[in-house]
């Protein structure tokens, strides 16, 4: 089982993402490159680069960063519909070949401002059907020559990529990460993804989902190597537990004082988000240090729940996810520039020391 420790590059034009107080240089290439280089120096394998209409294009940003780093592997978020699968497969293969195999891909199915970039306004079930077809075609284009495919959403005739992905002659291609907690999403993951990403649910929820996805993979006769699992979560780390909880509560108080954040909050927007938002009803702190209160004040996605504590405490909490079978970790906290060093220096060595 491969193991990956990744950071996060916000990739937004407007400053203030998740409370980051950085202003100078925010949204510039220099900021993103500096963050990637800090990640590289502090033991991270790479970082997730977020996507969304109205944000810089994730593939362009990743390409520029790769040219100014050595080992940094960008996990590039992309959306079917924004990308045609053959166009994406070609762009990804070119990037992967030029970077000598450093590309990772996060396939996002959730709705965006689809009309703004000319996509179809599909319901959730059809979006996941399209994503499954997208992944099937991309995989074929990466490993086969002279591909003809006639699906419900996409079709190609006699399509062959040049260049191939790095290591294609040995069957290698960029890892395909995928998120989603609905039944439709889990079917796509079990059949076609390489890594299923979870948000910061408690251990019992993650264990339940891994068991279900494993059984679903068998039921669907998965033809790829076994599905791997990843965790995307905020990690607030300080020298002591007391300092960490003091700062976590101060951050939540700041969120609570910004009603504009709550106006954007849509707890029921997706099954995964609903699961996270419902956790606050079980308690303010779950497991050893999973803080659920941010969800009450507009925290969404990876910012809905936080692992809070000293480096030892947060590393121990992450190790429990590893014990369940999670091997890919995408961590972050703000300010991104300072925390990439703190968590890289204090938490990652502890996880590597316990790695089997």
Phi-psi region at 180: left, alpha or beta (left = phi > 0; alpha = psi -120 to 50)? left
DSSP state of 19: G
Residue 355's pLDDT is: 54
**Is residue 136 domain-resident?**
yes
pLDDT, tens only, 26-83? 889 999 999 999 999 999 999 999 998 888 999 999 999 999 999 999 999 999 999 9
Q: CA-to-CA distance for 71 and 41, rounded, in angstroms?
A: 10
Predicted confidence band at 154 (pLDDT cuts at 50, 70, 90)? Answer: very high
Element (H, E) at 36: helix 29-41
Range of the domain at 75: 4-234+306-353
**Is residue 160 domain-resident?**
yes
- Give this prediction's pTM: 0.94
**Is residue 261 domain-resident?**
no
CATH number for the domain including 344?
Answer: 3.20.20.30
Helix (H, G, I), strand (E, B) or coil at 320: helix
Residue 1's pLDDT is: 58
**Is residue 45 domain-resident?**
yes
pLDDT, tens only, 158-215? 999 999 999 999 999 999 999 999 999 999 999 999 999 999 999 999 999 999 999 9
Predicted confidence band at 19 (pLDDT cuts at 50, 70, 90)? Answer: confident
DSSP state of 293: G
Burial of residue 227 (number of CB atoms within 10 Å: 0-12, 13-18, 19+): buried
Residues in the chain: 356
**Is residue 38 domain-resident?**
yes
**Is residue 173 domain-resident?**
yes
280, 281, 282, 286: CA torsion to nearest 10:
10
- What domain count does the chain have? 1
**Is residue 336 domain-resident?**
yes
Tokens of 316: 């121990």
- Spatial CA neighbour of 337 closest among 50, 31, 67: 31
Tokens of 189: 């993951």
Q: Which residue has the tokens 């490993």?
A: 143
Q: Mean pLDDT over residues 234-250, rounded?
A: 97
**Is residue 281 domain-resident?**
no
**Helix count (H) and strand count (E) of the chain?**
12, 13
């Amino acid at each position: 089982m491969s193991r990956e420790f990744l950071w996060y590059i916000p990739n937004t034009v407007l400053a203030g993402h998740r409370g980051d107080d950085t202003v100078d240089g925010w949204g510039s290439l220099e900021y993103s490159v500096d963050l990637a280089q800090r990640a590289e120096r502090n033991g991270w394998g790479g970082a997730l680069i977020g996507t969304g209409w109205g944000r810089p294009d994730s593939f362009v940003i990743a390409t520029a960063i790769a040219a100014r780093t050595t080992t940094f592997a960008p996990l590039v978020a992309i959306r079917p519909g924004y990308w045609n699968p053959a166009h994406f497969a070609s762009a990804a293969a070119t990037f992967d070949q030029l970077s000598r195999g450093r590309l990772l891909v996060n396939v996002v199915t959730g709705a965006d401002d689809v009309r703004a970039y000319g996509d179809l306004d599909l319901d959730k079930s059809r979006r996941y059907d399209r994503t499954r077809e997208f992944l099937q075609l991309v995989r074929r284009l990466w490993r086969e020559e002279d591909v003809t495919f006639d699906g419900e959403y996409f079709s190609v005739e006699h399509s062959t990529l040049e260049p191939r992905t790095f290591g294609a002659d040995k069957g290698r291609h960029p890892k395909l990460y995928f998120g989603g907690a609905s039944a439709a999403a889990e079917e796509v993951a079990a059949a076609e993804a390489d890594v299923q990403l979870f948000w910061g649910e408690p251990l019992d929820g993650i264990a339940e989902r891994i068991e279900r996805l494993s059984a679903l993979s068998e039921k669907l006769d998965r033809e790829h190597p076994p599905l791997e699992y990843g965790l995307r979560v905020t990690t607030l780390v300080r020298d002591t537990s007391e300092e960490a909880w003091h700062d976590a509560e101060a951050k939540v108080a700041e969120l609570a004082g910004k009603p504009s954040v709550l106006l954007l909050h849509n707890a029921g927007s997706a099954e995964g988000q609903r699961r996270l938002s419902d956790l606050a009803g079980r308690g303010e702190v779950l497991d050893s240090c999973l803080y659920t209160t941010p969800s009450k004040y507009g925290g969404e996605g990876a910012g809905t729940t936080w692992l809070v504590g000293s480096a030892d405490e947060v590393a121990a909490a992450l190790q429990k996810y590893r014990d369940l079978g999670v091997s890919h970790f995408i961590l972050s906290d703000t300010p991104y520039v300072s925390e990439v060093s703190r968590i890289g220096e204090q938490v990652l060595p502890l996880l590597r020391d316990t790695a089997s």
